[in-house]
Structure formats: C-alpha cells, structure tokens
Structure 1
Amino acid sequence: MSHTILVFDSGVGGLSVLQEIRQLIPGQHYHYLFDNARLPYGELSEAELISGCVALIEPMVTRLAADIVVIACNTASTLILPALRQCLSVPVVGVVPAIKPAAQLSKSHHIGLLATPGTIKREYTHELIRKFADDCRVELFGSSELVMLAEQKIAGLEPSPQQLQKLLAPITQSSLDVLVLGCTHFPMLKAEISQILGDQVTLLDSGTAIARRVRDLLPAGEENPEDETAVAYYTTAAISEGLTLSLKKLGFSKIENIKSE
C-alpha cells in the first residue's frame, strides 16, 4: 500500500528534500506544496509566517488524506512545528540545520552556517549551536538573495558566477572547513557554491537525514512503482514557463494553483 507524503516549502527549495525522499522511499504518492506568494520566508514576521503556513497546510492534509507532512524549510521549521502538531493528527517532520554532523566532521573545529536571515537570528538555531558545536568556532552567514538565485535556476535561468562570488565573498575569506547549507534552496546551488569555495570546504545539508526520518515514521509497506504519483501545488496565479517545464521534468504529472492572489 502506497503512502501519501506532503512536502511543504516557501518555494522550490524543498524539492531537494523531496528528491531524497523519493530515492529512499520509492513508489509512494508525493505531493509538493510551495507558498511562492510569500517567498522569501526569511523576511516575514513570525506571526505572519506561522498563521499563513498553518492556513495552507491544514486543509491540504485533509484534502489529500496525507500520512505525513514534511516542512522542508529551515525558516518555517524553527517556528511552525508546535502549531502544526497541535492541529494535525499525522506526523510532522521539520528540517534542522546540520550543525551536529558538521561539528563532528570538522577537523579545524571551525564551521559555518549559510541560511536565510530568519534562520540565522532564531534562538532555535543558536540553541543547536550551543548544544552540538560548543567546541567549534561557528560563523553565521545570512542570505535571501541566494534563495532567489536557486528559484531562478530551477526555472531555467543559470545564476551569474559574478553575483554568486559576491554573495559568497564573506565565506571565501574564512578559514572554515565545513559549511552547513541551512536552507533547502541551497543544495540546488551546491555545484556552484563548491566551485567558488573549493574542495577544502565540505558542504552539508539535511536532505538524507530527513528522508530517513520520514521512512522511520511511516508504517511499513511494499513499494508500488506502478501506483507512484507526484503532484505540485502553488499559491500564486501563475508560475513561469521555465518552472513548469522543470517540474514536469522532475516527474510531476499535475501542477495546480490552489490560491489565486
């Protein structure tokens, strides 16, 4: 029996997490909901972010009879999980920046976190650092611009190397040896980021760990590739032709607008 998995993000970044889930748990019903009406989340107030996310996700869980919800957004995960778990009866999995494995991997005990400004400033993030990287020097780098570059890339517009070089300049001037990609958009730029930072910097994200968590929470069941489906939902009246094409290439059989603005 196939399970229904709902993955949510502000934009297309959560596709990096969904890809890991599909690889680890094939033959399921995958639904991807992205709130591009309010992108980027890193610049929203906490109250607006929480209320808006709950209002989108709760009815979609009911409509789809989802078995599990994945909040594939670091910024949202730092805020909305308690509110969602209070109103949903199914498991809710959030994304946690990979601070713990980064601290364990670093040889120099000098790591970095690249995330949205919202994630960087959350007490939740600083508690993770205190708990798991107390013996490391941890540098924090916030960027909303990289989120938009990832959005453009998935829509078919390659990011400018000059712009990336400028945005990553503070990191290139650091001596860190492990960089946590603390936004699910950023793995989509992994090749470009790695090219600028060089082989001496290891890039870590949470996609694989989240996929394992989803597998562990779902009831055991057989894979059914013939029954597999993938549907995407978005929250503005239009998405670009390039993004539509990319979603179809990723195997989404249906792309639906759920909330015209």
Structure 2
Amino acid sequence: MKRVLIFDSGVGGLSVYQEIYAQLPNVQYVYAFDDAGFPYGELPETELITRTMHIVSLLVERHNIDLVVIACNTASTIVLPTLRSRLTIPVVGVVPAIKPAALLSERKAIGLLATPATVKREYTDQLVSQFASDCDVHRIGSTRLVEMAEAKLRGIAVPMKELSEILSPWQDKIDSIVLGCTHFPLIKGEIADAFGVPVNIIDSGLAIANRVKALLGEIEVRRVDNVVNLTYNSAAVNHHAALNQSLKEMKLEAIQSLNYPKL
C-alpha cells in the first residue's frame, strides 16, 4: 500500500488531504502539523526550514513514506529545494492558483488572499508576472483568516463581520479570489458569503491531488475500510476534542504528539 505524508503548519493542509483522498481513498495517509511553530508566515526562514526538515524526515523514516506533500504555501516557497535535495522520494508543494484565476477572470481583476509572508514573496511576484501580467492583482495578507480556519475545525464559528471587513478593500474591484493559503478552503463558504457578491474562488487543492495521483502511478481507486490514517502534532495534545471529531469525519485518527524538541 502506498503511503503519503501531508505536512502543514496547522490544519489548513486538511483541505489538500480531502482533495487527494477523494481521488485515492486506498492510500494510507499521515497528516502532520506543526502547531508549536504556528503561524509559519511569521517565522524566520532558517527556523521554518529546520522545523519542516526535522518533522518530515522523522515521519518519512518512521512510516516508510512514498511521497510527501508540503500543504503550506509559505513553506513551499522556502523549503522545497532543501527537502528535495535530502529526500529520495517525490516532494510536492503548493503554489497560489494565480494562473487559473487569471484565465477565469472576465474583468482581468483578481485578488490574492494569502498569509502576509506569501503575498510579499518574490516567488509570488514571479507567478503574477508570468501568468497574470494582463490582470490587476490585488493582495491581502492575513494571519487572522488562518486563525479563523483553525478555530472553525475546533468548533468555533467564523466571525462573519470581521471577515467582511478584511475583504472590504476588494469590493467592486475584482471578480476572482485566489485562496493562496491551504487554510482558506476550510472557510471557502464563509468567504463567499462575506464578499457579498458572486465571485470566482479558486484554490490549488485539485491540481495538487492530480499531481499526487500521477506521481504515485496507476492505483486502483477503491475504498479500503481497514486503512488507518494517522495524525501528528508537534505541540502538546490538549483540548482537541472538537478537532479530533473533525478528523474522524475525514477518516483520520485522533492526534498523536510528536514530542518536538525545542530548537
């Protein structure tokens, strides 16, 4: 049985996991998140690389992983070269879906919703220049939206008024929103409601799932009831009852602690 490790700073990567699982339900999944280092958008690059390398390398060896997905836009723009140089298995990253948004936008006006780090990255500028040079690209970098998505999976309602205020600079300016953080598809419905008018909302989850499927090769797509999909967290496992229930609904086991060392 193939084994896939999906890694993120928090629970945002679950949006990517769900897309991959829908296509490959008979693969065993290990989902790991680094709550002790959350949010990644505010970490120095050296620390982010060190933390990601430690956790990913540990779990690749422990579970004989066949493929790694870095389901975090911030980490993907920084860590992928190091990971790929040190691992002998495929490593898939995520990037903001600027290209499909630019193709879809009729007004050629799109909004990139991401973390503060992602909206400022040179890599993001390159994506805009390469795929959306004919568009007006408006950017909002928000750690608060990441916190809202994390809270939602722990049973806390998204504060719609605050969400509307965050998106208000885009009113009457765009017709497409790029969800440039894997946390944001978890509140996609709330984002659509808060925006108030019809808008295209695009993320990279399906594209990542297609890439994983291609790399793993031809796998018979069938549901296997006895597969145990694991969940790890670098922080102490406390107060996770609501989150564990959400994980159970996604066919993932309750959270185990990684006992991550202080760096």
TM tier, smaller: over 0.9
Q: Which residue of 1 aligns with 2:68?
A: 69
1:199, distance to aligned residue in structure 2 (A): 4.2
SS at match of 2:32: strand
On the 8 A contact 2:247/2:254 being kept in 1, the answer is: no
On the 8 A contact 1:27/1:228 being kept in 2, the answer is: yes
| Mapping 1:145-184, distance limit 5 Å | 145-172=144-171, 174-184=172-182
Q: For 2:222 and 2:145, locate their aligned partners in 1 and report how far apart those are by CA, in whole Å.
A: 37
Q: Which residue of 1 aligns with 2:46?
A: 47
Amino acid corresponding to residue 106 of structure 2 in structure 1: K
| Mapping 1:129-148, distance limit 5 Å | 129-148=128-147
1:245, distance to aligned residue in structure 2 (A): 2.1
| Mapping 1:151-230, distance limit 5 Å | 151-172=150-171, 174-223=172-221, 225-226=223-224, 227-230=226-229
Q: Which residue of 2 aligns with 1:80?
A: 79
1:56, distance to aligned residue in structure 2 (A): 1.1
Q: For 2:136 and 2:167, locate their aligned partners in 1 and report how far apart those are by CA, in whole Å.
A: 19
Q: Which residue of 2 aligns with 1:258?
A: 258
Amino acid corresponding to residue 67 of structure 1 in structure 2: D
SS at match of 1:126: helix
On the 8 A contact 1:237/1:259 being kept in 2, the answer is: yes
On the 8 A contact 2:16/2:209 being kept in 1, the answer is: yes
| Mapping 1:238-253, distance limit 5 Å | 238-239=237-238, 240-253=240-253
Structure 1 segments of 4 or more deviating over 3 A? none
On the 8 A contact 2:237/2:256 being kept in 1, the answer is: no
Q: For 1:177 and 1:35, locate their aligned partners in 2 and report how far apart those are by CA, in whole Å.
A: 34
Q: For 1:211 and 1:229, locate their aligned partners in 2 and report how far apart those are by CA, in whole Å.
A: 20
Q: Which residue of 2 aligns with 1:59?
A: 58
Q: For 1:162 and 1:231, locate their aligned partners in 2 and report how far apart those are by CA, in whole Å.
A: 36
| Alignment length (residue pairs) | 259
On the 8 A contact 2:237/2:255 being kept in 1, the answer is: no
Q: Which deviations, in whole Å up to 9, do the C-alpha atoms of 1:52-84 show, x marking residues without a partner?
A: 111111121111111100000000000000000
Q: For 1:198 and 1:133, locate their aligned partners in 2 and report how far apart those are by CA, in whole Å.
A: 25
On the 8 A contact 1:28/1:225 being kept in 2, the answer is: no
Question: Sequence identity of aligned pairs in percent?
Answer: 48
The more displaced of 246-255 and 176-185 is 246-255
Structure 2: give runs of 5+ residues left out of the alignment: none
Structure 1: give runs of 5+ residues left out of the alignment: none
TM-score by length of 1: 0.95
RMSD: 1.3
Q: Which deviations, in whole Å up to 9, do the C-alpha atoms of 1:179-234 show, x marking residues without a partner?
A: 10000000111111101113431100000000000000003232453343211000
